[in-house]
Each structure stands twice: as structure tokens, then as C-alpha cells.
Amino acid sequence: MALDRRAELGEFLRSRRARLRPEELGLPDYGGRRRVPGLRREELARLAGVSVDHYVRLEQGRTLHFSEAVLDAVARALRLDPVERGHLYRLARPWSGEETAAEPQHVRAGLRQLLASAGDVPAYVVGRNLDLLAWNRLAAALITDFGALPPAERNLARLIFLDEGVRAMYANWEGKARDVAAYLRLDAARRPGDPETAALVAELSAVSPGFREVWSAHHVKEKTHGRCVYRHPVVGILDLGFETLRFPDDPDQALVVHTVEEGTPAQSALRLLAQLADEGVSAR
């Protein structure tokens, strides 16, 4: 069963309305308690310069044939960032794809060689639905032994929300959980007919209260670059950067490479982790 794009569209728009306040936008506040936080539909329609009925039809998903001008106006009124704007467009336009699972993904040999050559920093490749497709030895030593997991469990979202050992690795698990859910939601909107995406979201929603909480916020985010602090049980705290590179010929795959500054404690910890991995000593 595929994700319901009309329901996704309505919930996304309501979540974006809820974060805005009339006083922040120069709208009059006539007093009285609001039943829900944020802007009312009629206030948002006024800001966007569209009729209330037109906006209500958009939020209720009655049709997926809205003009670019209307979507742009709503995006401006909601103060959407570029990633959110693209997400709105994907949800509010007809989907011509089929509700069939995509072909299995494969990592080309040259990319696997690149991973192996990046021996001093953790690196891995993620695919659709945040599946972990390939990794180097330092990534496995840092996060978990991906190769020891059944293939169906080699998924970043599954590990973050369902694996207690991986969860404990992140100093700011709440922030990581929000980001992973935001990455997954953006990815899901790119392929709304993929039953594997719907099955993953359904499973995580059923068994993880943490996932249900962050998923309901309807955040969307592209994985680009940033920092992540790990609490490794053997080598201690590692404050690492990361860079994400997507491939023009296969945008459904991304190479994630951690970075580390020269002379930092994190660099020393990574060197120790690599030494333990070379010696076959368990880093857990």
C-alpha cells in the first residue's frame, strides 16, 4: 500500500500553518483562544492572495492540479524554505508512477573502491528509504557491524529508532531522530507509489513511539552536511563533521563521508578505532 499523498499534503500544510503566529505576520489578533495553534485557513489564504475556498481545496487534497502561481503564493505565505517548497510541489502535483517496488539498488565497483580507500574516516552509501548499501571498515567499527545484520535490517532509520545500541551512540539522539525522519519523509515524497517506503513507515510507526512523535511533525530535510557527536563505548566521544555527495547518474544513492580536524581528540579516537579494527579486536 502506497502513502496517501492527499493526506500527506493536508497534514504538511496544517503543520506549517501551526508554526506561524498572526502577530509575527502583521495580522490583527481579535482575541479569544484559538482551537489550534498558528494561522487559521482564512488568514493564510489572505496572506497568499487566494480565495479561502481555493486554499481549503488545496489543504484537503480535493485535487492535485494547482497552478504554479498558487503554490508559489502559498509557499511564500507559509515561509517555506527551498526544501519545503520542493516538497509542497511534489505533494501537490499528480503522480504518474506506479505503486510498485523499485528495482534493487547496486553500488558500482568504483564506488566500493573509493570507500575502501577512505580508510582514515568512516564513510558509507545510503540508497532509497535510507537503506545502507555499502560502507568501509571504519564506519562499521564506529556505528555497528552492518555486515553482521540481515540485509533487511541494514537501514539507517531502522537502526536509529529500533536498535538500542545504535541509539546510545548518538550524544544528541533526539536531534538525529528528527533529522532521519525528515530525510525519510522527503525521500518518501519522491516515490509516493513505493510500497517498500510505506511498509517501512508503517513498521516504525507501529513499534517506535519516538518515530511516531517526530514523524507527526512533518519536517522535511535534505541530507547535506553538518556535525555529529558519537559516544563510542570503547574510544569515547567523537565530534565529527560529515559531507553528503549525490551522484548525477543515480540521485537515489548518496555517499556520506565523515570528516575530522587535524590534531583533535576525535582524530586520535578514529586512529585507535582503525587500529582495533585492523587487529580484529571488537570495538564494542
CATH number at residue 232: 3.30.450.180
Range with the poorest average pLDDT among 207-211, 241-245, 276-280? 276-280
Length of the chain: 284
The whole domain housing 251 covers: 109-278
Containing H/E element for 251?
A: strand 250-259
Q: Are 123 and 255 in contact (CB under 8 A)?
A: yes
Return the amino acid letter for 238: L
CB atoms within 10 A of CB 156: 21
Residues 171-185 have a mean pLDDT of 97
How much is the pLDDT for 78? 96
Q: What is the reported pLDDT for 254?
A: 95
Give the dihedral sign, CA 95/98/104/110.
Answer: negative
Residue 32: band (very low, low, confident or very high) from pLDDT cuts 50, 70, 90: low
User: What is the structure's pLDDT at 109?
Assistant: 94
Say yes or no: 85 and 114 in one domain.
no
Using DSSP, state whether 244 is helix, strand or coil. strand
- Which pLDDT belongs to residue 1? 53
Check whether residue 149 and residue 192 sit in a common domain.
Answer: yes
Residue 206 in domain = yes
- Shared domain check, 261 and 145: yes
What's the structural domain count of the chain? Answer: 2
Whether residue 78 lies inside any domain: the answer is yes
In-domain check, residue 97: no
Residue 214 lies inside a defined structural domain of this protein: yes
- Could you tell me if 147 and 39 lie in one domain? no
**Residue 87 belongs to a domain:** yes
- The reply to whether 170 and 37 lie within a common domain is no
Contact 157, 182 (CB under 8 A): no
31 vs 217, which has greater pLDDT? 217
Q: Which of 22-31, 145-154, 162-171 shows the lowest per-residue confidence on average (mean pLDDT)?
A: 22-31
Residue given cell 511534489 in the structure block: 90
